Amino acid sequence: MGRPEPRVDGRLKVTGNARYASDFPVANPAHACLVTSAIAKGRIVSFDLDDARAVPGVLDILTHETVGNEVHEPKFFGSGGTASTIHRPLSSAQISHAGQIVAIVVADTYEAAREAAYRVRVTYEEEDAATTLDSDGVETLPATKVRKEHKNPRVGDAAAALRAAPVTIDAVYETPTQHHNAIELYATTCVWSGEQLTVYEPSQFVHALKHAMAEQLGIDAEDVRVISPYVGGAFGSKAAVTPRTALVAIAARRLNRPVKLVATRAQGFTIATYRAETRHRVRLGAQRDGKLTAYVHEGWEATSRLDDYLVGGTETTAHIYDVPNVSTRVNVVRTDRATPGFMRSPPEVPYVFALETALDELAEALDMDPIELRRINDTRNDPITGAPYTSRSLMACYDEASRAFGWRRRNLPPGSMRDGDWLVGWGCATAVYPTFMGAATARVRLARNGATRVEIAAHDLGTGAYTAIAQTAAERLGLPVAAVEVLLGDSALPAAPVAGGSNTTASCCNVVAKACDGIRRRLVRAAMRADRGPLRGRKPSSVNFVDRHIAGEDGAKVSLADAFDMLGAPMIEEYAHWLPHGMEPDALKKLHLGSAALTGGAMEDRIAAAFGAELVELRVNVYTGELRVPRIVGAFAAGRIVNPRTAHSQYVGGMIWGIASALHEQTELDRRVARYVNTDLAEYLIPVNADVPDVQAILVSEEDRLVNPLGIKGLGELANVGTAAALGNALYHATGRRIRKLPLRIEDVL
Amino acid sequence: MGEMMSKVKVSTTINGDPVEYLCDAEETLLDVLRDHLGLTGAKEGCGTGDCGACSVVVDGRVVCSCLVLGAEAEGRKVTTVEGLATGDRLHPLQQKFLEFAALQCGVCTPGFLVAAKALLDRNPDPTETEIRFGLAGNLCRCTGYDKIVRAVQAAAAEMRKG
Ligand code: FES
Ligand code: FES
């Protein structure tokens, strides 16, 4: 652990041999194509399917008239279930969002299915739809009404502190609708063999998908297997189970033939989840020396009518700085849209943008360097509960980032750093991500010749889980990484948590280490008991596994093969489960039922989070308003880093996500009809190679002996958290104009 | 689609091997490669020419195989990601993508490799800007852009050494 091993799955990926869900060959598949709703609210009056059925090769067309009650109501993942929504697909004529699935056409070929899907004619009765935060017809509710467990962190008397503060900030911030747009499309292939169903679908939680299918189709969970060894990007979109899967399974059952669906890019905007738009009012009070005295944050988040989805990001922001008086409140706004869902750092991206921009405004009001302001308000304890951070390196991150960036050369006044036709601005912001962990199980098998196999139903979304897990087992067993085979992404393997909340490395490496320790104990015991063995009579704690040997401190050693002979077995298999600190004891049971229960972040007795500092340079052309980001430096501390190479990739990728989020991405809504407008990769802007600047990620070392036995914090969702605020702050520094609404666009500065 | 539709018979060369297949007239080259020939290295990320995940080389030019018909491959030479390595020996681009960590989820990787190979075949010594713009048709959402550029530069240097 700790070495920059190249990805163990890399070779399969560069040769085109890694099998993603839609790459699995199945015998004689039929192909499915979805038909989605043209209206956002109302009902289907009738279908005209004659033209569609006339297309040669069409096998079946499913609508609510054929499916009806076949799909049982799923439980929402936010309430301990597995599903992205409680909506039962094709169960009625009711339409609750634009792009809802209204029919699924199955044919011998994809071309025939697509042709027939175009020819499905639907007559609707349309009602007025409420589109977004302040549209007519929305319903605004306090988050505490929508979800009982929701907490609005508060401490002290923020209102009084605000009144008394000599310097205050009061501003409103907004973030847009965004879609994950992983490059891999939403694909599902279902194959029945008698009672048994196999699902090939890219998944961040194969055990949840397995149970979801059992629950929704009314079958035995032991009859379902989900296979998803490689996932072509997910970012949250493949965690909760979406309505399409049950429909593909039903289509396959009716035809008694495998059915393969690859939804189009445009359909992906409405048949799965998205990041909903948010609004924030942030008020800060401070003394003239920069010490914060009050923080008041009220948030509004768009959601659907059906589900209780919310992100409630003050659960993160209230714990970052040392503020004695905090008051927060989150509201949800019900609209006629699909249910949103987790997208990379779901609460942090919008809420931290608001707070970190407000802090920059405060620094400006105080005429103070913005990093200095953060230093004054740094803390070792959770300001809400007083509990200590398990470790925290925010200011170390700022120090390293500002050194690499050359922050000292920054002129304080906005508009003072011009370079020819370009206004230059430097901005900074804090990145933060709570450390989450989940209950996990794993099986490890070690053979006499050192061949090791790790089985765990974890998920590698490109994050490097295969490699981190292989490194963990290799280190514990004293083997080269190449000796370790890792099997992931299959519900037939021991259950592991959802690949969400950046918990995979912490949860899975800890449980795999525990299973390896079980193997070690058995071998060590055998080696110590063996007559005339070189390690006879040693204390178990005095030996280590290195280089295919069990070695004592004095150099005495026994080879693995000899230890196996002493044990009298050709191989050892060990199963382990692991419960993180603070986890409810029934967590393992829940895990086996596919519930995404995680623990961590702000707990009663401690708080755990990874931190970072992001510094950016933004240039604005004085004539055209063109925005350019020539460089960005991020320094991050996330406990023990299992693999610096893959961690570096996550940080760089995260910061590029942050740039995209701040300067490019917005799903545009047609407010009259509550429909998305830019539903393809030409119109939904994400950066290309030519847009991307010099991105520097610095790994700040941090040791955490408390957070979990291996000292690992999650980092995949850390680096995209601070970027947008840093860019907005840099834009202010360049131009003197404060833009409080993302994305930042040319029209904002002209 | 049965007898109603006429199938097209195509003779082509894929990764150096002569190949014959039957396909529907409106079937894309991407679907032929993936569904009929078992060459699932090329991926579908959009089907509309926006992402480059389906990139293959046809007669020396990178194309989006989602926008090319299977029938159009008649008489041509097609190279897919599966054709880059020689037996067990990886192409320098593949090797450098591994070394420079230029991939994460890997779903864009085959398209990038194919596009980069075509770029280097045309221009063995591209500038950084030429690489960035040369690969602007390929999206990586994960996103490995900077590392991809470094990997292509390193592979180009190695290939020039011969
Ligand atoms: S699938 Fe062909 S360009 Fe996206
Ligand atoms: S590595 Fe995932 S899209 Fe490029």
Q: In chain A, which among 460-519 make CB contacts under 8 A with chain B?
A: 461-464
Partner-chain contact B5 A57, CB within 8 Å: yes
Above 60 in pLDDT, residue B1?
no
Closest Cα of chain A to B144: distance in Å? 6
A-chain residues within 8 Å CB-CB of B139?
Answer: 183, 681, 686, 688
Mean pLDDT of chain A: 96
Average confidence (pLDDT) over A19-46: 98
Distance B140 CA to ligand 1 centre (A): 12
C-beta atoms surrounding A78 within 10 Å: 22
- Residue-wise pLDDT for A131-163, tens only, equals 999 999 999 999 999 999 899 999 999 999 999
pLDDT at A628 over 80: yes
Ligand in nearest proximity to the CA of B115? 1
- The per-residue pLDDT for B144 is 83
B106 plus B150 within the same structural domain: yes
- At residue A697, the pLDDT reads 98
Per-residue pLDDT, A537: 84
pLDDT at residue B3 above 50?
Answer: no
Neighbours of B86 (CB within 10 A): 8
Query: What percentage of chain B carries pLDDT values higher than 70?
Result: 97
For the Cβ of B106 lying below 6 angstroms from any atom of ligand 1, the answer is no
Rounded to a whole number, what is the distance in Å from the CA of A520 to chain B's nearest CA?
A: 32
Q: Which of B50, B105, B143 sits opposite A657 (nearest CB)?
A: B143
Q: Calculate the dihedral angle through the C-alpha atoms of A494, A497, A499, A505, rounding to the nearest 10 degrees.
A: -80
- What is the pLDDT at residue A210? 98
Task: Give how far A620 is from chain B: nearest CA, Å.
Answer: 21
| Residue B66 within any structural domain of the chain | yes
Task: Find the distance separating the first CA and the last CA of chain B, reported in whole Å.
Answer: 49
User: From B108, which residue of chain A is nearest by alpha-carbon distance?
Assistant: A183
- At A690, is the pLDDT very low, low, confident or very high (cuts 50, 70, 90)? confident
Sorted by where each starts, the structural domains of chain A and their CATH numbers stand as 10-129+179-271 (3.90.1170.50), 140-178+274-435+603-749 (3.30.365.10), 439-594 (3.30.365.10)
B36: domain CATH number?
3.10.20.30
Same domain (yes/no): B76, B12 = yes
Q: State the pTM of this model.
A: 0.97
Q: Which of A277, A315, A475, A717 is catalytic?
A: A717
Instruction: Verify whether the Cβ–Cβ distance B141 to A233 is below 8 Å.
Output: yes
The answer to whether A631 faces chain B, any CB pair under 8 Å, is no
Same domain flag for B126 and B79:
no
Looking at the structure, do residues B146 and B115 belong to the same domain, yes or no?
A: yes
- Let me know whether B140 and B123 are in one domain: yes
Q: What integer is the mean pLDDT of A122-134?
A: 96
Does residue B55 share a domain with residue B103?
no
Domain stops at, among B83, B111, B146: B83
Amino acid type, A580: P
Contact: B107, A686; criterion CB under 8 Å: no
State the pLDDT at residue A102.
98
Predicted confidence at residue B143, as pLDDT, reads 82
Q: Using the predicted structure, report yes or no on whether residue B162 has a pLDDT greater than 80.
A: no
**Are the CB atoms for A102 and A113 separated by under 8 Å?**
no
Tell me, yes or no, if A717 is annotated catalytic. yes
Q: Is B63 in the pocket of ligand 1 (CB under 6 A)?
A: no
- pLDDT reported for residue A532: 82
Q: What is the pLDDT of residues A425-479, one digit of tens each?
A: 999 999 999 999 999 999 999 999 999 999 999 999 999 999 999 999 999 999 9
User: Across residues A632-657, what is the average pLDDT?
Assistant: 96
pLDDT in tens, A72-102: 999 999 999 999 999 999 999 999 999 999 9
Minimal Cα–Cα distance from A554 to chain B, Å?
37
Answer with the one of B65, B83, B101 that is the final residue of a domain. Answer: B83
* ipTM value: 0.97
Radius of gyration of chain A (CA): 27
Best probe of the A interface among B104, B119, B129, by most A CBs < 10 A, is B104
Q: Which of B35, B57, B83 is the last residue of a domain?
A: B83
Residue A539: pLDDT over 90:
no
Residues B100 and B71 in one domain: no
Residues of chain A with Cβ-Cβ distance to B108 below 8 Å are: 183
Report the CATH number that the domain containing residue B129 is assigned in CATH.
1.10.150.120
The pLDDT confidence band at residue A597, using thresholds 50, 70 and 90, is confident
Ligand 1 site, residue B66, Cβ cutoff 6 A: yes
Q: Tell me: do B32 and B71 sit in the same domain.
A: yes
User: Looking at residue A692, what is its pLDDT?
Assistant: 80
Tell me, using a 6 A CB cutoff, whether residue B114 lines ligand 1: no
Share of chain A above pLDDT 90, in %: 94
B120 and B140 belong to one structural domain: yes
For residue A662, pLDDT beyond 60: yes
Q: Which of B89, B142, B152 to mutate to test the interface with A (most CBs of A within 10 A)?
A: B142
pLDDT in tens, A211-223: 999 999 999 999 9
Q: Confirm whether B125 is domain-assigned.
A: yes
Q: What is the dihedral of CA B80, B81, B87, B89, to 10 degrees?
A: 140
Residue B107 sits in the same domain as residue B39: no
Which atom in ligand 1 lies closest to the alpha carbon of residue B67? 2
Looking at the DSSP assignment, which residues form a beta bridge with residue A121?
A: A48
Across the interface, whether the CB atoms of A462 and B26 are under 8 A apart is answered no
Domain-located, residue B120: yes
Q: Which residues, in sequence order, are CB contacts of A59 under 8 Å at separation 6+?
A: A30, A106, A107, A108, A255
Residue B144 counted as domain residue = yes
pLDDT at A55 > cutoff 80 = yes
Residue A125 contacts residue A49 (beta carbons within 8 Å) = no
On the question of pLDDT at A513 being above 70, the answer is: yes
Do residue B46 and residue B73 come from a single domain?
yes
Looking at the complex, report in whole angstroms how far the Cα of residue A323 sits from the nearest Cα belonging to chain B. Answer: 36
Total tally of structural domains belonging to chain B: 2
- Looking at the CA of residue B66, tell me the nearest atom of ligand 1: 2
Contact A500/A236 with Cβ under 8 angstroms? yes
Nearest residue by C-alpha to atom 4 in ligand 2: B140
Task: Evaluate whether B76 touches B16 at the Cβ level (below 8 Å).
Answer: no
The residue range of the domain holding B137 is 92-161
Interface of A with B in 13-52 (CB under 8 A): 13-20, 22-23, 25
| Mean pLDDT value of segment A479-498 | 98
pLDDT of residue B5: 57
Mean of pLDDT values over A244-264: 98
> So what's the pLDDT on residue B2?
43
The verdict on residue B1 lying in a domain is no
Cβ < 6 Å from ligand 2: which residues?
A 183, 233, 462; B 103-108, 140-142, 144
B134 shares a domain with B112 = yes
The residue that leads in pLDDT, A520 or A692, is: A520
B2 within domain boundaries:
no
- Residue B60 backbone class (left: φ over 0; alpha: ψ -120 to 50; beta: rest): left
| Nearest residue, CB atoms, B110 vs list A16, A262, A690 | A16
Output the CA–CA distances (angstroms, integers) from residue A541 to A127, A521, A553, A566, in the order listed: 71, 10, 10, 19
Instruction: Encode pLDDT of B72-92 as tens digits.
Output: 999 999 999 999 999 999 999
Identify the nearest ligand to the CA of B42 by its number.
Answer: 1
For residue A687, the Cα-to-chain-centroid distance in whole angstroms is: 20
- On whether residue B117 sits in a domain, the answer given is yes
Q: Are B101 and A649 within 8 A, CB to CB?
A: yes
